[in-house]
A and B are shown apart, each in its own frame.
Chain A
Amino acid sequence: MKLPRPRGKLSEALVADLTGGRALDHAGDPDGPDDLHLSLWMLYELHYRGFEDVDDRREWDPRLLAVRAELETSFEDGLREDVGEVLAAADEAEDLVSQLAAIASHEGEASVSQFLHRRATAAQYREFLIERSLYHLKESDPHAWAVPRLDGAAKVALAELQYDEFGGGRPDRLHSALFARALEEAGLDASYGAYVDRVSWHTLAVNNAMSLFGLHRRFRGSAMGHLAAFEMTSPLACRRYLQGAQRLEMGAAVEHYFDEHIEADAVHEEIAARTICGSLAETEPELVDDILFGAAACVHLDEVVARHAIDAWTAGGSVLLGGDTSEVA
């Protein structure tokens, strides 16, 4: 993957630094959320697959880590403010699993799955696949960072869940590979990070939250709370994505991806909420607030993406940067 196009002075300075230009010594004030989240995304990607045009050693460059820490602080502070409403859904619930279920069932104003089910055009469905490609081509990778930070039943359960995400012993069943086949069948580019230049900060923030939680041991509870909310909101949404794909005849691989996730995530949600989060809360009760914060962040950011997408689509526009979907299809 090549470095993305900058979206402001920070991402421009970061790209320059990463390609051997002038050293960036602090983040300063980014030019808005696109500049911030793209910069953070680039810094995180150094820990996943890296960039063809960047020396792999930069992953642990202390200067870049300091810049990343500045951006993470402002992202975390903003998130903590913004999740309040979703988090409040858990107030009445008695135990952790009910709290997670209450958060996961928080209803935003906009629903992407309902829109795709009944209203979307094939072009809009492809835009959805493009937005999702940023995560699904590295599906479950961000949560894997938590493995060495857990122990006992929580670790065993996370490994069990991820064994399924990572193909259950069969490379052709790797969930990221299932999604790559869906992209190809929809006529889209399935190479890793291919669409980063087309995706707005909303989707970058979703990805950055998973990396933030995954890469910091102090957020291990949040990483697992995020995973639980992600899985708990998935099966019913995937049913609608599947029905939308059938309605629009998006192809067998697209249908298969969502079909697989209806059943898989009906299993994963129980493992994630009860066994992973439940065991973690038993052994480390001080992590309960972090678990709920991670779950609420997942649901909140999902709603941010949904609002943005539904606004764009109902106005007859594109959710992608640069607009017009015809050129991406």
Chain B
Amino acid sequence: MSAPASGSRTGCQITVVPDGPALVRGADVVYDDQGVAHEAERPVVAVCLCGLSQRLPWCDATHKVAGGRPSKT
């Protein structure tokens, strides 16, 4: 993976992981599909894109069990 683009902007940055979540840097709030606001409490959050997470909108690595990459028990 190549380095994040450098520059003077301090805005939000989103990186989509193949077969995985979207890594979101610099977000304050993520709105889920019901319009509910979830505060981003860490510098980088992983937003679930597979829809299978048990703690939506955040990724909990369930995508790995669900046919993506195999899981470690």
Cβ-defined partner of A266 (8 Å) among B3, B59, B65, B69: B59
* A266 x B60 contact (CB < 8 A): yes
Tell me the number of A-to-B contacts counted with CB atoms below 8 Å: 85
**In the complex, what residues of B have CB within 8 A of residue A270's CB?**
17, 20-21, 23, 46
* B60 x A233 contact (CB < 8 A): no
Question: Measured between alpha carbons, how far is A264 from B72 in the docked complex, in Å?
Answer: 17
Q: Which of A156-177 contact B (CB under 8 A)?
A: 156, 160, 163-164, 168
* A239 x B23 contact (CB < 8 A): no
* B60 x A263 contact (CB < 8 A): yes
- Which residue of chain B has the shortest Cβ distance to A110 in the bound complex? B73
* A113 x B44 contact (CB < 8 A): no
**Main secondary structure on chain B at its contact with chain A?**
loop
CB distance from B24 to the nearest CB of A (A): 9
* B71 x A236 contact (CB < 8 A): yes
Q: Known: A160-B43, A164-B44, A274-B1. Contact between A269 and B61, CB under 8 A?
A: yes
- Which residue of chain A has the shortest Cβ distance to B62 in the bound complex? A236
* B1 x A275 contact (CB < 8 A): yes
Stretch at the interface among A100-108, A118-126, A284-292, A316-324: A100-108
* A105 x B44 contact (CB < 8 A): no
Size category, A interface? 35 or more
**In the complex, what residues of A have CB within 8 A of residue B42's CB?**
164, 168, 263-264, 267
CB distance from B8 to the nearest CB of A (A): 16
Question: Measured between alpha carbons, how far is A233 from B65 in the docked complex, in Å?
Answer: 12
CB distance from B41 to the nearest CB of A (A): 8
Question: Measured between alpha carbons, how far is A137 from B23 in the docked complex, in Å?
Answer: 28
**In the complex, what residues of B have CB within 8 A of residue A148's CB?**
none
**In the complex, what residues of A have CB within 8 A of residue B46's CB?**
263, 266-267, 270
Q: Known: A153-B3, A262-B55, A279-B1. Contact between A267 and B72, CB under 8 A?
A: no
CB distance from B73 to the nearest CB of A (A): 4
Among B1, B2, B42, B64: residue with most chain A CB under 10 A:
B1
**In the complex, what residues of A have CB within 8 A of residue B54's CB?**
239
CB distance from B21 to the nearest CB of A (A): 7
Question: Measured between alpha carbons, how far is A113 from B55 in the docked complex, in Å?
Answer: 20
**In the complex, what residues of A have CB within 8 A of residue B4's CB?**
153, 156
CB distance from B6 to the nearest CB of A (A): 10
**In the complex, what residues of B have CB within 8 A of residue A152's CB?**
3
* B17 x A236 contact (CB < 8 A): no
Q: Does B67 interact with chain A (Cβ within 8 Å)?
A: no
Q: Known: A105-B69, A105-B70, A279-B1. Contact between A262 and B61, CB under 8 A?
A: yes
Q: Which of A51-108 contact B (CB under 8 A)?
A: 98, 101-102, 104-107
Q: Which of B9-66 contact A (CB under 8 A)?
A: 17, 20-21, 23, 42-46, 54-55, 58-61, 64-65
* A236 x B23 contact (CB < 8 A): no
**In the complex, what residues of A have CB within 8 A of residue B60's CB?**
235, 239, 262-263, 266
A273-312 near B? 1/0 per residue, CB < 8 Å? 0110011001000000000000000010000000000000
**In the complex, what residues of B have CB within 8 A of residue A278's CB?**
1
- Mark B residues whose CB is within 8 Å of A: 1-4, 17, 20-21, 23, 42-46, 54-55, 58-61, 64-65, 69-73
- Mark A residues whose CB is within 8 Å of B: 98, 101-102, 104-107, 111, 113-114, 152-153, 156, 160, 163-164, 168, 232-233, 235-237, 239, 262-267, 269-271, 274-275, 278-279, 282, 299
User: What are 18 A-B contacts defined by CB distance under 8 Å?
Assistant: A106-B72, A114-B73, A152-B3, A153-B2, A156-B4, A160-B44, A163-B43, A164-B42, A164-B43, A235-B60, A236-B64, A263-B46, A265-B61, A270-B20, A270-B21, A270-B23, A271-B23, A274-B1
